């Protein structure tokens, strides 16, 4: 006999507490972690979406600025000078200068130092007319297509050339294969190979290569630099080049070391990223959120409101909301409430950034006075305790926010560093130690670079106690190669 269970439906009441993230609170948190440019875009979007918002003038902010200008008449000059310096630094980004060969780049091409290509050297030579003289406006593909357009090809050859160019990436390397294009267009692979060879004869030299080895060989060909040795080095010894093991190359090729070094100098003048000049080098300007100045012997922190739209609620819509009824009134009141909350959230964001920066200045006065070497160890909890906020809030405030100081422009996150012990019992910020290591390596003899253990010993002389593996870690974070790869033979 089968027994059946009876099921009952019941209603019951239960009281409980639960933390909910309201849309307004979510918006406030979002605004807090936005960068300055993101905030400008967000405010502009809100001005377009919310009809009750309009741009206005923040009178209190203007009055504060005028007061500060009266206290120190030269402050505008200081701002102008500092902004000019910052602009010069940013403008210098992307200026290509001839540099020494970085052998690490044979495996990591993006780290290769910018070096003039062989074709660039021939620009003024009338015997070798070059497309290098053509304006660099436009993309790499547009530049290559313009050269193809000057040549006499039939319809199929032109189509293949366009397909090949379309498969060249921003670095200038061919990313497809001969067989794939031949199969897609139902033509002989030999015809595609011939058109690839045509593309590889275009400028900039080295374009359309399938790997680094082919890229360098194309440049040797176009620059008439083949001598029987240099191409063998590229063909067979890229690994040894990457490790700068010139002695091993000389031993295998049974040639004097001086001959190998002479040919390596030729390779150093080649460009491993032929498409470099057409993209990826655009300068990105940093607009500081806060300025820190020394006025009358005191450090002053000022928010940068320039460029940030000042928004206010339209008085006209406020009056209309009082007179309306029904759905229109409800809609307008909802928009008014949203606008007031947005303005309040932005004000709170700016106020929090100002408070955090003021506490940073209090704790890091030696940095602002003397420079990076005097940066003190500090963690998020230190500032959080000072202003009575949670560490997560401080983390949001300091992310993607920048401060303009007499020492330069820094992200607020930069000031939070772990500590490094000193023999005196004091501690030093890790950023300061990195700066010291960078300065030590910057002054070394490039033909006899300092090993990590030697750097450890030099730091101990200054009272800084670090393990060799820690020095190696800091060096890697600074993007500095080990001593074996920093050594220069020429």
Listed by start position, the domains of the chain span: 23-84+285-415, 103-278, 419-486
The chain-wide mean pLDDT, for the chain, equals 78
With H, G, I as helix, E, B as strand and everything else as coil, classify residue 256: coil
Mean pLDDT of the 44-70 span:
67
Q: How far is CA 333 from the centre of its chain?
A: 43
Percentage of the chain exceeding pLDDT 90: 12
Does 14 score more than 90 pLDDT?
Answer: no
Q: How many CB atoms lie within 10 A of CB 44?
A: 13
Residue 132, CA distances (Å) to 119, 121, 122, 217, 271 in order: 8, 10, 9, 19, 14
Q: Does residue 40 contact residue 307 with C-beta atoms inside 8 Å? A: yes
Does 131 score more than 50 pLDDT?
Answer: no
pLDDT tens digits for range 341-373: 888 888 888 899 999 999 999 999 888 888 888
Mean pLDDT of the 43-68 span:
69
pTM of the complete model: 0.57
pLDDT tens digits for range 321-336: 777 777 778 888 888 8
pLDDT tens digits for range 187-204: 999 999 999 999 999 998
Rounded CA gap, 365 and 27, in Å?
A: 34
pLDDT tens digits for range 97-108: 434 434 344 434
Mean pLDDT of the 364-388 span:
88
Rounded CA gap, 291 and 354, in Å?
A: 10
User: What number does CATH give the domain 419-486?
Assistant: 1.10.10.60
Q: Identify which has the larger pLDDT, 223 or 137.
A: 223
Q: Does residue 204 have a cis peptide bond before it, meaning omega lies within 30 degrees of 0?
A: yes
Per-residue confidence (pLDDT) for residue 164, from 0 to 100: 92
Mean pLDDT of the 384-412 span:
89
Per-residue confidence (pLDDT) for residue 291, from 0 to 100: 93
Q: Identify which has the larger pLDDT, 94 or 232.
A: 232
With H, G, I as helix, E, B as strand and everything else as coil, classify residue 410: strand
Residues 6 or more apart whose CB falls under 8 angstroms from that of 29 comprise 396
pLDDT tens digits for range 444-484: 888 888 888 888 888 888 888 888 888 888 888 888 888 87
Rounded CA gap, 443 and 436, in Å?
A: 11
Q: Does residue 415 contact residue 364 with C-beta atoms inside 8 Å? A: yes
């Amino acid at each position: 006999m089968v027994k059946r269970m009876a099921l009952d439906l019941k209603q019951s009441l239960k009281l409980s507490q639960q933390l909910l993230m309201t849309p307004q609170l979510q918006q406030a948190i979002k605004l807090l972690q936005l960068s300055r440019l993101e905030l400008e875009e967000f405010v502009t979007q809100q001005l377009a979406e919310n009809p009750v918002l309009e741009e206005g003038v923040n009178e209190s902010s203007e009055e504060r600025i005028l007061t500060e200008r009266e206290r120190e008449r030269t402050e505008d000059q200081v701002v102008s000078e500092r902004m000019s310096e910052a602009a010069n630094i940013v403008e210098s980004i992307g200026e290509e200068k001839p540099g020494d060969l970085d052998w690490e780049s044979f495996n990591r091409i993006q780290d290769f130092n910018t070096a003039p290509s062989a074709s660039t050297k021939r620009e003024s030579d009338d015997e070798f007319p070059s497309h290098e003289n053509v304006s660099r406006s436009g993309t790499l593909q547009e530049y290559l297509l313009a050269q193809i357009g000057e040549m006499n090809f039939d319809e199929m050859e032109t189509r293949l050339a366009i397909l090949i160019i379309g498969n060249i990436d921003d670095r200038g390397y061919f990313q497809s294969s001969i067989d794939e294009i031949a199969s897609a267009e139902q033509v002989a692979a030999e015809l595609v190979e011939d058109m690839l060879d045509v593309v590889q004869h275009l400028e900039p030299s080295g374009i359309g290569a399938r790997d680094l080895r082919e890229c360098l060989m194309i440049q040797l060909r176009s620059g008439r630099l083949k001598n029987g040795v240099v191409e063998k080095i590229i063909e067979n010894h890229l690994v040894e080049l990457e490790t700068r093991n010139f002695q091993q190359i000389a031993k295998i090729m049974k040639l004097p070391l001086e001959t190998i070094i002479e040919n390596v100098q030729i390779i150093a003048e080649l460009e491993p990223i032929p498409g470099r000049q057409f993209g990826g080098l655009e300068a990105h300007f940093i607009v500081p959120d806060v300025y820190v100045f020394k006025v009358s012997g005191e450090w002053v922190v000022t928010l940068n409101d320039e460029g940030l739209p000042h928004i206010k609620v339209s008085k006209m819509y406020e009056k209309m909301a009082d007179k309306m009824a029904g759905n229109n009134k409800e809609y307008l009141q909802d928009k008014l409430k949203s606008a007031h909350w947005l303005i309040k959230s932005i004000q709170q964001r700016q106020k929090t950034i100002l408070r955090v920066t003021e506490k940073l200045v209090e704790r890091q006065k030696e940095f602002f006075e003397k420079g990076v070497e005097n940066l003190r160890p500090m963690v998020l909890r230190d500032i959080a305790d000072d202003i009575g906020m949670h560490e997560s809030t401080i983390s949001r405030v300091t992310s993607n926010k920048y401060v303009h100081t007499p020492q330069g422009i820094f992200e607020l996150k930069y000031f939070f560093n772990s500590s490094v012990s000193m023999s005196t019992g004091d501690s030093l910020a890790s950023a300061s130690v990195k700066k010291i290591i960078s300065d030590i390596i910057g002054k070394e003899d490039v033909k006899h670079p300092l090993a990590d253990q030697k750097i450890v010993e030099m730091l101990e002389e200054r009272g800084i106690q670090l393990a060799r593996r820690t020095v190696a870690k800091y060096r890697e974070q600074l993007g500095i190669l080990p001593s074996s790869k920093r050594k220069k033979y020429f």
